[in-house]
Amino acid sequence: MSTFKHLLATIPRARVVTTMRPTPTRATRFLALSLLALPWLAAQPASADGDADGQIMLGYRWVDVDGAERKFREDLNQEDGPILYQLDFDLVPEGEDRWADRIELDVNDLGSRAFETVHLGIRKYGAYTFKLDRRRSEYFYEDIIVPPELANVRASTGGDFHHFDFERVRTRAELDLFLNKRAKLSFGFDQHTKEGDGTTTLDISRDEFETDRHIDETLQTSTLGFSYTWDKATLILEERLRDYENVVEVFLPGFSEGESPGPATLDFYFFDQPYDYESREHAVKVLARPNDRLDVRFGAELHDLSLDLHADESSQGLDFRGNPFSSIVTGSGDIDRDLELYDLELTCNLNDRVAMVGSVRSYSLEQTADSTLGSDVNEGRWDIETTGYEAGFVFFLDHGFTLGAGLMLESREVSFQQLENDDGITVEDAETDNDGYYLNALWKPRKGFELSAKVDVNTIDDPVTLATATDRSRYRIRARNRWSNGVSLSAVYQLTDFENDSSGWQAETEKIAIRVGCRIDDVEVSAGYTLIDIERQIDSLVNEVLLFDDLYRADTDFLDARVRWAVNDRLTLGAAARIYENGGSFALEREEYRAFLETRLASKYLLGLTYRTLDYDETEQSFDDYSADIAEISIGYRF
């Protein structure tokens, strides 16, 4: 049967069981209320309530998909229905005793399951600011690599058996109270939720079984902060409380023969493992400028985390020998973690042309954990101490040239102890050294032109895991220029190279991006081209014997162009194109074209029309291909 270690590793992976649909009732209700409320609000006399302006855009979207609708949902996740495209409202109340100086409301794409946002801001200068933001989106993932009838987990010929379909909502509220010109008191609340369904695979009795899983996660963060500013220093204090809950339910929807039909079968399987943690965090930060030459930044944080979990597992079926089995297992576990972080940064201007920069960092983590599932007992302890130093110089030279260079040293000591059942205590100690250097150059000889270059190289000695690079290097060159006639040009070249000498893997990414823009009179044109070349090489070595060689390549070309023409003060036309082509291990092509019209019917009424067409083609297979046509109409009112 599965252990806590195995089950915890499978928790983040899931697949779709039921298709979540958006809530048309909620969206329709909001659109109806908006239609009723906004004209009334706009009709109110401005002299009575203050200056108010804004606009509302309501509309409808039609979507027609031919081919793999699940792949379309994974990429765009759109559907037919009414949408509140935009609602912008700004109010400046009048009167000397007004409780707010400015009120703003921004709503975008309400009714679209892909992504929607709501923002409310209220401010009274010198007294307070309040912000409330809500972002909602639906995440869908169901990638298929081979046809479902050929999929097999054990033979590694299947697609991705871990799929997702859940809704993400983030709600954030912030309130700043200005006690006086120097002191500020802050309150904050941030909540993330995920809710939906999925699937995952479990190894039970030497076979793989595909199971369903319910997704229900909530993370709440409450903050209390205080800051005080003197003439040459600022003190910031913050208290944070994080509360996380995860309802984990994994179950077999019915009898299963597994991914490799044979003796092992399951009549039913159910696993319930809810867990939650609470983390209390204390932070202090000091920003000081004692004189014109010295800047000092100091920060410290203390985290105290406590996690609790409980598990119930029940199953019945035939094992890999064909013998019947039935089990009911319960268990529990807890984790305690203490984390300390300290940072000190210094910048000293030696003269008008030379500045010295430096920093010292110290991180420490202590964690104890134990879990029991039936007769499986696991206990572990982690101790990690990390210390880092960085020092460098910045030179301000003639003709707008700036050069920076520095060294970085970091040392990490790791001690790990584990007790698993009666196998004794496993003790591992490791020390990792990370040495590197960086070079930065910036040249701005005149207004509108900029050329920059960055080099970052690190060597890591004896990393704790084989998935950590032993050598890392990053190179980037960027140039930008803007001419007086409205033409602009930018170009970027970037190269990253990660290697691990111990496990024999290499990851290299090369990127070239060029963008040009032009605005002449009433016409605005922009176009860009990006080339990304990715190569992943893994030499699987066991006792210095090469078992197999894995190679992944991606050669990506991305072209986009956009034109916008303001024909007159009432009519605007536009078009856009996005062409994506990827060769290598997974070859595909994706083309998207868009045309739009925006017109003002009268002094305050707006009309918008948009048409998009997409074509997705995986050149070596066809079961994921699709084409889609999306039409949108929007009617607006400006007040």
Q: How far apart are CA 597 and CA 581, in angstroms?
A: 28
Separation in Å, CA 363 to CA 3, 308, 398: 31, 25, 40
pLDDT, average across residues 342-351: 95
605 — pLDDT class (breaks 50, 70, 90): very high
Residue 445: both structure tokens together: 């000889």
Separation in Å, CA 158 to CA 146, 242, 258, 579: 6, 39, 13, 29
Highest mean pLDDT among 20-24, 199-203, 547-551: 199-203
pLDDT, average across residues 584-608: 91
Q: Which pLDDT tens digit goes with each residue over 68-92?
A: 898 999 999 899 999 999 999 899 9
The yes-or-no verdict on residue 519 having pLDDT over 70 is yes
Q: Which pLDDT tens digit goes with each residue over 317-328?
A: 998 888 998 989
Question: pTM score, two decimals?
Answer: 0.84
Residue 69: both structure tokens together: 């609708």
366 belongs to a structural domain: yes
Q: Which pLDDT tens digit goes with each residue over 94-107?
A: 877 788 999 999 99
> How far out from the chain centre does Cα 79 lie?
24
Contact status, residue 394 vs residue 382, Cβ threshold 8 Å: no
Domain encompassing residue 253: 1-13+142-443
pLDDT, average across residues 126-146: 88
21 — pLDDT class (breaks 50, 70, 90): very low
Q: What percent of the chain has pLDDT over 90?
A: 61
The yes-or-no verdict on residue 19 having pLDDT over 50 is no
Pairing relationship of beta strands 571-584 and 588-600 according to DSSP bridges = antiparallel
38 belongs to a structural domain: no
Residue 73: both structure tokens together: 């949902």
68 belongs to a structural domain: no
pLDDT, average across residues 166-179: 96
pLDDT at 45: 47
Comparing CA positions, the residue from 170, 298, 315, 313 lying closest to residue 236 is: 298
Q: Which pLDDT tens digit goes with each residue over 209-223?
A: 888 999 999 999 999
Query: Residue type at 195?
Result: E
pLDDT at 49: 54
Torsion, CA 562, CA 563, CA 566, CA 570, rounded to 10: -60
Q: How far apart are CA 637 and CA 603, in angstroms?
A: 9
387 — pLDDT class (breaks 50, 70, 90): very high
The yes-or-no verdict on residue 23 having pLDDT over 50 is no
Of 21-30, 290-299, 380-389, 555-564, the one with minimum mean pLDDT is 21-30
pLDDT at 554: 86
Q: Which pLDDT tens digit goes with each residue over 196-254?
A: 999 888 888 888 888 899 999 999 999 999 999 999 999 999 999 999 999 989 999 88
Which residues in 583-592 are b (16+ Cβ under 10 Å) and which e? eeeeebbbbb
pLDDT at 258: 80
Give me the residue label for tokens 């120097």.
182
Contact status, residue 520 vs residue 491, Cβ threshold 8 Å: no
29 belongs to a structural domain: no
pLDDT at 41: 45
391 belongs to a structural domain: yes
pLDDT at 151: 59
Mean pLDDT of the chain: 86
Q: What percent of the chain has pLDDT over 70?
A: 87
Domain count of the chain? 1
pLDDT, average across residues 336-352: 95
pLDDT at 544: 57
pLDDT at 360: 97
531 belongs to a structural domain: no
222 belongs to a structural domain: yes
* Helices and strands in the chain: count of H runs, count of E runs: 4, 28
Contact status, residue 335 vs residue 306, Cβ threshold 8 Å: yes
Separation in Å, CA 419 to CA 264, 306, 333, 569: 31, 20, 14, 75
pLDDT at 547: 52
Question: Which is higher by pLDDT, 224 or 153?
Answer: 224
8 — pLDDT class (breaks 50, 70, 90): very low
The yes-or-no verdict on residue 163 having pLDDT over 90 is no
Question: Which is higher by pLDDT, 22 or 472?
Answer: 472
Residue 261: both structure tokens together: 């039909």
233 belongs to a structural domain: yes
Of 241-245, 427-431, 595-599, the one with minimum mean pLDDT is 427-431
pLDDT at 113: 76
pLDDT at 357: 95
